[in-house]
Amino acid sequence: MSGGGSDQILHDFFITAIFMLCVYVSGVAVSKLQAPALVAHIGMGMLWMGAGWLPHSFAKPFEAVGAVGLMLMLFDGGVNMDIPVLKKMGGRATAVALSGVVFPMLFAYLLFTAMGFGVMEGLACGSALASTGIGFTLSLMKDMDILQTPLGQLVCAAAMIDDVSSMVLLAILQGATSIVETGEADVMAMMKPVVASLALFIASIIIRVILCKALASGEEQDEKAEQQSTNLYLHEKILGVVTAGICLAIIADKMGSTHLLGCFLAGVIASAWKSFPEIWEPMVEPILPWMTMAFFSCTVGFAVPVSALAAKDWGLVFAIVALAILSKITTGVFAGKPTDKGYGLQVLQVGSAMVGRGELGFMQISTGYKLGMVSLGVYGATVWGLLVASILGPFMFRGAVKFAASVEAKSASAEPQTQTSV
């Protein structure tokens, strides 16, 4: 009996190890091709679960790990949120971000109405296509070494605001159950996530400002305490911050918002402690990539049925793929003033940078499908749109940056010749 139990444990261990190794290797291989690793992670999760290589009993534990990975990612995104950059680029970044939410929703509504689908299906699809992942964007800017440039700052600030807006949309989507069940819109239920999220956001900013002032006055004492009792002192503070983050996530959920926004804002509040990011990054660096892989491969990959991608209506798939790309490229029109020099190139670069999608889009369409707001066909077509946009986004952005650099180089080389001829 005990031998059989040991064999089963060993069997489960090897399946888990081989699965995670496949996810890791596929991500590395795709990254070498200059494409986002998350696409490979999602695909590997779909493959293993769809082919039955992974027992269905493994799904729930893996999904739980993936959910923790998502919360950790969002907290880390909040910690790395550059508040000065957000203040500096706030106006333009907000315009780009909000248009990145409005345009997909509007285009999806018009497309689905024209094709004879229901309004809720169009809105659910549009909300899924509205998300631009801040983790995805930060990684792209760092890889191209343009994070500290005005372009990199604008895109990252817009992606930050876009992610917050997408979290609010997710909360609204989760609160839309009454529409599906009764066929009638409960305005109060729909507005509750918006009000709760806005209140939570304002409260978090106020708390951060208060903490910044309080911590600034006690900064010298903190440095002395850290020098005297480094490990114990730092671990106590880290534990306190993480505990506060968990509490904020619970509060956000109870208020009617989403626990994901609570995790993100907890990270923003934690950044009030200036030395926290420097301590946090080395601590989380060994586990965050694996938790991220667990989220994309398990929580997202397991949730996408392979049958959904075997679309019957490929016209709908192509339409949503085109919508997913064009609705984000058009956000670039708010990147600057039309009278600015190089405005067209800026539109192209910012718009293409917003094309890549993050984890929230997959979560939103999965939520809509589970609530019965979208059919299997629309679900699969939207997943195709998210996947294709995630693959093409980095290539489009790199191409736009190189094209802009070549145009600027030609312009710079032509200027001396013009001045000489004059």
pLDDT digits (tens, 9 = 90+) for 72-102: 887 887 787 777 766 777 788 888 988 988 9
State phi, psi for 150 to the nearest 5 degrees: -55, -40
How far is Cα of residue 208 from the mean position of the Cα atoms in its chain? 23
- pLDDT-based confidence at residue 420 (cuts at 50, 70, 90): very low
- pLDDT-based confidence at residue 135 (cuts at 50, 70, 90): low
What the block records as the tokens of 367 is 């939520």
Region 169-175 average pLDDT: 67
Q: Which of 17-21, 100-104, 156-160, 337-341 has the lowest mean pLDDT?
A: 156-160
Q: How much is the pLDDT for 171? A: 66
Predicted TM-score (pTM) of this structure? 0.74
Region 350-366 average pLDDT: 82
Report the alpha-carbon distance of residue 269 to residue 75 in Å, rounded: 10
Identify the CATH assignment for 13-52+61-410 out of 2.60.120.380, 1.20.1530.20, 1.20.120.1200, 3.60.15.10: 1.20.1530.20
Answer yes or no: is pLDDT of 18 > 90.
yes
Q: Is 211 exposed, middle or buried (0-12, 13-18, 19+ CB in 10 A)?
A: middle
- pLDDT-based confidence at residue 287 (cuts at 50, 70, 90): confident
Q: Could you tell me the end-to-end alpha-carbon distance of the chain, in angstroms, rounded to an integer?
A: 95
Smallest CA-to-CA distance from 351 within 151, 91, 148 is with 151
Answer yes or no: is pLDDT of 419 > 80.
no
**What are the domain boundaries of the chain?**
13-52+61-410
Q: How much is the pLDDT for 1? A: 47
> What is the overall mean pLDDT for the chain?
80
Report the alpha-carbon distance of residue 222 to residue 207 in Å, rounded: 19
Report the alpha-carbon distance of residue 381 to residue 371 in Å, rounded: 17
Q: How much is the pLDDT for 223? A: 54
CA distances to 134, 138, 212, 365, 392 from 143, in Å: 14, 9, 31, 29, 16
Q: How much is the pLDDT for 43? A: 85
How far is Cα of residue 372 from the mean position of the Cα atoms in its chain? 24
What the block records as the tokens of 275 is 């030395």
Answer yes or no: is pLDDT of 215 > 90.
no
